[in-house]
Amino acid sequence: METHSRHLKLGGILSQSLRLLGGKPLTFLGIGLIPAGLLWASFGAIVLGLDHAWRSGEIDLIATWRSLSPLVRAGFILSLLASLALVFRGYAASVLVTSEWRQGRSISTIRAYSQVRRKSLRILWICFLCGLFTGRFAVVAGSLVWLVLAPGFPLAVLEGLGAMEASRRAWDLFEGNWGRLLLVYVLYLAAVVASLAVLIRSISSLPLLPLLIRLAISALFFGLLLLPSQWFFSVLTLAYLDLKGQVSAAME
């Protein structure tokens, strides 16, 4: 009965999340720019090693990839995986920043990154691998796994739980509020689509700039592209803290 009596105050949580982003824009932007910077360095290192014609904008991606040595290819792939790991760590850092803000405290970008435990990132790796290895069903399978596991991510980060335990507890905690949570998913999807549209249009309008400058600008846009996901996890964190507070109050 107590489970069904919990009511998620979604309007207040959305308002809090926007105040958080508006109050700490540099913190969240910094979280996104760390993996973006690694990507820019990886692309830039390859560009500097190629001929002048390629660097001036005459790009044939397939021919360029084939021209790279196996060692360079392997290094580039590893840098992509490292960037992805930093993206996931950045999402966890966003959860920590949100939790500290909710409690009236502040935490720096670097400290938030350093406090993330690798165990808490398993949920995101599971979602990524499900999307990677399901072939033509990647979008559907990845989205379904994301829908099931994502609510548990704040619990994994803040309480140090494994992926399955965090997700199970999140499902128990959010019971009776799945309609509101689904609305958050819809808003998140709309924000991602809008951000992608702005990113593509912005990058396509920069064809006359030197390639390295375009890469730097693209890295900045990539950091901005992570903001919708940071906001999404901030909302989930605020929702978790709100429902957890209701449970604690009911037990007193």
200: confidence class by pLDDT, cuts 50, 70, 90? confident
With the C-alpha atoms ordered 71, 76, 79, 84, is the resulting torsion angle positive or negative? negative
Question: Could you tell me which of 155, 166, 175, 168 has the C-alpha nearest to residue 7?
Answer: 175
The one-letter code for the residue type at 97 is V
Q: What is the mean predicted confidence (pLDDT) over 139-167?
A: 88
What is the average pLDDT value for the chain, to the nearest integer? 81
Cα dihedral: 219, 222, 224, 230 (round 10): -130
The one-letter code for the residue type at 192 is V
Q: What is the mean predicted confidence (pLDDT) over 103-125?
A: 91
For the chain, first and last CA: distance in Å?
16
Answer with the residue of higher pLDDT: 67 or 44: 67
Would you say residue 160 has pLDDT above 60?
A: yes
Q: What share of the chain is helix, strand, coil (3-state, %, to 5)?
A: 85, 0, 15
Token pair of 42 as six digits: 């990886």
Question: Could you tell me which of 188, 180, 196, 195 has the C-alpha nearest to residue 231?
Answer: 188
pTM of the model: 0.83
Question: Could you tell me which of 152, 148, 68, 160 has the C-alpha nearest to residue 117?
Answer: 160
Contacts of 148 (CB under 8 A, 6+ apart): 167
* 43 Cα distance to chain centroid: 21
Cα dihedral: 127, 190, 15, 7 (round 10): -60
The one-letter code for the residue type at 207 is P
Residue percentage of the chain with pLDDT more than 70? 80
